[in-house]
Every structure is written in structure tokens, then in C-alpha cells.
Structure 1
Amino acid sequence: MDKPTIGGQAVVEGVMFQTKNRMVTAIRRNNDEIEYFEMERPEKKWVKNLKKVPLLRGNVAILESSIYGMKHLDFATDRYERDPEDDVNIEQEKQAANSTKVVLSTIIVGILSFIIGKFLFTLIPVFIAEVFSGTVTSHFGQVLLESVFKLILLLGYIYVISMTPMVKRLFQYHGAEHKVINTFENDQDLTVENVQRQSRLHYRCGSSFILFTVLVGFVVYMFVPVEPFYVRILNRIALIPVVIGLSFEFLQLTNKLRDIPVLKWLGIPGLLLQYLTTKQPDDTQVEVAVHSFNKLLRRD
């Protein structure tokens, strides 16, 4: 029987794993106990049909991950550094604030944050490149300069936030997530020792996707004008869904080719970025990831 495709996401002091049917998060509380949050992953027929359409399915997948992922992040952050005996107050606070409104507002904030972040990440390099338009005048030079600034912005941002204690621990759980998936895909028992021997890098990681948006964007922008400047701004905004869709397809392609000599090198740039977005987890963090993964397998 074919193995299910399992994805994941690091959350505050824990890891979420998911199949196409279910999502499970395990977190470690400050009393050292492991707590779970589970939910089914309902999929409407029209969404399922959209996810079969090349280019479009990448945008749908990103949006869907943002919506469901925010619920698990919300669960983890609500309980971060709070005494488990205080959990009843968490529920009362949510009820007082109307839990439905809280969930909806959290999802909306998550989606808006992604959209605004994507706009800024796309447009700031355009404005910087335009500053040098008097020196770098060619179409190729401007697109290359824009892509270089975008890459610097990406790497610089990740490096700076990785220096903060909370994000560093989040990146350690990200590493634990990858190690567990690699252990499962390599048909090894999910013990802490086996997991720790695995790589913290994985071809299907969202970090690779982010880098691919830079590389794919460079190619796409070569076919659209950069002058006049307002046209450049408009086509960058209009092409965001196209770049996301193509990057998603390229990510899926590199995953399929990862065992083929020579072609597996297509995914290397994304793997290199993961040296920034993942950190080596300790045994206690790996233990949380293993608990989350095992719970998902039992439920699914």
C-alpha cells in the first residue's frame, strides 16, 4: 500500500502534521506534559476540483494551508507559557469574546498578513531597483537587480528573525518536523534515536517554495515590460498568482525528481535555504514531533 503524503508545520513549542483528511498538533506544556489538538480537514468538492488545475492548485493550497494552519498556531500560542490549570480561563476568555468571531478574525489576520507580506516582498525590490535605473538601464539588468534585492531581503529577514529565542526554537521544531517525515519515508521506526540521524532538510518544504518564487519570478518578469514604472508595478501585482502557481508546480517537480541523479540538483537551492529556516532540534523537541506524527497515523 502506498504511503500517505504527510506534510507539517512547526508551531510554538510543538509540531503539526497533516494528511489530506486530518491534522494533529502536539505541544509541550510548561509542566512538561504533551497536549494535542486535532481536527478533520474537510474538503469541499469545488476546492478538490480546483486543486486539480495546474497553476491554480498552488494558490488554493497556499490559501488552504494559511486558513487551517492559523487554527493550530492559535492553539499553541494560547497555551504558550500558561499553566495548564489556567486552561479553563482560556476557554472562558474565548467564549466571552465569541469564539466564532475570534477564529474568523484569526484566519482573516493570517490571510491578510500573507497577502501584505507578499506584496511588500514583491514591490520593495522593484522600488530599490528603480533607484538604479539610470545606471542599470537594460531590461535584463533591471530584472536581475530586482531579483538580487529580493533574495537579499529574503535571506536578511530570515537571518534576523532566527536570532530571536522564540523563532530559534520554532526553527528547531521545524527541523524536528522534517526529521520525522524523513524517518517515515525511509521506512525506519519512529524512535528519537532514528529521527535524530535523519536530515533536517526536505524537498517539499515551504521554505523551498519561498525561494522558488524568487527564481521563478526572475524568469517570468523577463517576458513583461519594466517601463514605464507604473506598468512594472501593475504587472508585478497581477503576476503574483502566476508566480505562486508556477513555484508550487516547480516545488512538486523537484520532489518527484529528488531520487534521480543530476535532476535532483534542481531542488538544491531550496534545500540550502533550509539551513536558515531549520535548526538542529534536541531530543525533547523530537519527542514532541514523534508524538504528533504517531497520533496522526492512529487517527488517520
Structure 2
Amino acid sequence: MKRTSNIGGQAVLEGIMMRHGNEYALAVRTPQGEIAVEKHEYQNFFKSKKLTTTPFIRGVFNFIESMIMGVKTLMISANYAMDEDEEEDKTEKSEKKEKLMMTITTIVSFVLAIGIFMVLPYLLMNLVKPFIASYAIRTIIEGFLRIGIFVCYILLVSRMEDIQRTFMYHGAEHKCINCIEDGKELTVENVRESSRQHKRCGTSFIFFVLIISVILLLLIPVESTIMRIVIRLALMPVIAGISYELLKLAGRSENPIINLVSKPGLAIQKLTTKEPDDSMIEVAIRAVEEVFDWREFLDEGKPVS
């Protein structure tokens, strides 16, 4: 098994959020060129610990938790990107209104993701149903169509300048984690030389979701249009649960089969991560050091002489 650091991260606007244990830190490059850092205790949205720790159940709840955390940290990073007048006006808004907006954004994002990547491919394939009699063939083609829509979506949004920079910060996040897990000191030089792909990435999770959905749908043949949509929605928690366990296993294993299964997700990460510049790497290092003692981690991994 590969020695992992159990650090989780996410790229935000001009910054990085890193989480370890019950703490998370957000480091953002301000318009003035400084690195602003916030450190907080992580508050679980779901109060029951069993929901986020029980295998095959935790996947869907941790996914929702990560979406909520993502929207929250994205809004915080957006505040740092404002000028002083905008920021002053922002502080006058009620906290309840901001939380409401965060909740609405999370729900809308979740519904759109389900609609675009799960329901839409089926509806498109339903148009050619009269020409393809085999349920299995239609389901497999639908799976490839789903992956194609996802890749096209990534290619489309990556043309936006802000998204390009976010993908660069995403690369800096992965490089920092890989640097530590490769047993190297967390310096700009070492991080720069590390890989920007990581098997625990959310991009790989989404790819696992797309693949597992095809496998499960092949096992439940239903011809009714309404029932097929219902089944796709009903299977989402199961799909997320299995995909999460695969992601966890891939992150700590160097088994050849696991590495082979991880390759497509790593390939797609070439689209969702870009090579960062040194200033972005500095931001990522600050975020890591706020929540994780990488020196102690490296010392624990050294063989006893």
C-alpha cells in the first residue's frame, strides 16, 4: 500500500483550500499580490458520523459535503478578489442571505449535474432507440456519450481565463500533495518537479461515477422511459458509494490492476489541471502548512537506522 498524507484540497479563485482532519485552510493571492490565509475548524453538514465514515454509504454524503465546502470556500475566495469598496459593501449584507445563496447554489449545481450527465445522455439515446434494438448496446453507447459530454464540458469551460487559472491552482494542489507523498520536502523547486495528477482527485471520482453507472445499468434492464429515468436517479447513491470506495482504494494502492483502472481518470486530469507558476505553488504550500506538518510526516516515513 502507498503511504498517503490524507490531505484533501480544492482550487478556488486565485487560491487553494487544503483540508486535513478537522481543520481546513484557505490561502488566496490578493489583488495586492499578498497571500491571505484563513484557517477554520471543519464543521460537518451531516452531524451523524456514521453517514460520512461507513463504507459504501459515506460516498454520497462526503460528495455532498465536498460540494457545500466547495461553494463556501469559493465565495470566500471571491471576497478576496474584490476591491476595498466592494468588500466593504459585501460586509453589510446579512449572513443569512449569504448562507441562503450558498444553499441555493449547491442545490442548483447538484440538480444540473444530474440532469446534464445522467438524464440528458439517456434522452438523447432514446431518440435512436428505434434503430438500435439491443438494450446493452444502447446502454454502452449512452455511457460513452455521457463521458463525451463531460469532456466537452471541461474543454468548453477551460476556455475561460478564470477557469484556466483555477486549473493551474488545481495543478499546484496536486503537485504539493504528490511532493509530500513522494517523500520530498515541500519547497517550490520540489513541488514544481512533482506530478500534477493524483489518483484521489475529484475528476477521477466523476469518471468512476460515469463508468460504474454503465455497469449497474447493464445489470438492470428496463425498457420503460419513465422507469429508466427513475432507476438512474435512484442508483445515484449506490453509484457514488461504489465510486468513492474505488477512489479511496486507488489513492493508497499501487496494485497494477488498480493503476490500470485509474488511468482514464488521470488522463482526464490533464484537462482539469494545468502547470502552475511559482506564485501559485507558494499559495498551495501556505495552505498545506496551515493544516499539515509535512516535516513530521516525512520523518515518520524514514527507515530506522
TM-score by length of 1: 0.91
Once residues 91 and 18 of structure 1 are traced to their aligned partners in structure 2, the CA distance between those partners, rounded to angstroms, is: 28
Once residues 6 and 133 of structure 2 are traced to their aligned partners in structure 1, the CA distance between those partners, rounded to angstroms, is: 47
Q: 1:230 to 1:255 in 2, by over 3 A?
A: same
Tell me if 1:267 matches 2:262. Answer: yes
TM-score by length of 2: 0.90
Aligned-pair identity in percent equals: 34
Structure-2 residue corresponding to 1:163:
159
- 1:187-206 superposed Cα distances (whole Å, 9 cap, x missing partner): 21111100000000001000
1:295 maps to which of 272, 290, 299: 290
- Map 1:127-146; keep pairs closer than 5 Å: 127-146=123-142
2:91 maps to which of 91, 94, 97: 94
- Matching residue's letter, 1:295: E
Q: CA deviation at 1:98?
A: 1.0
- Matching residue's letter, 2:204: S
Tell me if 1:256 matches 2:252. Answer: yes
- Map 1:166-245; keep pairs closer than 5 Å: 166-245=162-241
Structure-2 residue corresponding to 1:8:
9
Aligned length: 291
Structure-1 residue corresponding to 2:302:
none
Q: CA deviation at 1:91?
A: 4.9
Q: CA deviation at 1:42?
A: 2.9
- Matching residue's letter, 2:20: T
Structure-1 residue corresponding to 2:64:
63
Unaligned runs of 5+ in 1: none
Structure-1 residue corresponding to 2:113:
117
Q: 1:14 to 1:131 in 2, by over 3 A?
A: same
Calculate the aligned-residue CA RMSD, in Å: 1.8
Q: CA deviation at 1:92?
A: 4.7
Q: Is the 8 A contact 1:203 1:255 kept in 2?
A: yes
Unaligned runs of 5+ in 2: 294-305
Q: Is the 8 A contact 1:37 1:75 kept in 2?
A: no
Q: Is the 8 A contact 2:20 2:292 kept in 1?
A: no
Once residues 13 and 181 of structure 2 are traced to their aligned partners in structure 1, the CA distance between those partners, rounded to angstroms, is: 25
Once residues 275 and 3 of structure 1 are traced to their aligned partners in structure 2, the CA distance between those partners, rounded to angstroms, is: 22
- 1:155-195 superposed Cα distances (whole Å, 9 cap, x missing partner): 00001111111111000000000000011112211111000
- 1:8-43 superposed Cα distances (whole Å, 9 cap, x missing partner): 000000100001211101111111111012210134
Could you tell which deviates more after superposition, 176-185 or 62-71?
A: 62-71
Structure-2 residue corresponding to 1:29:
30
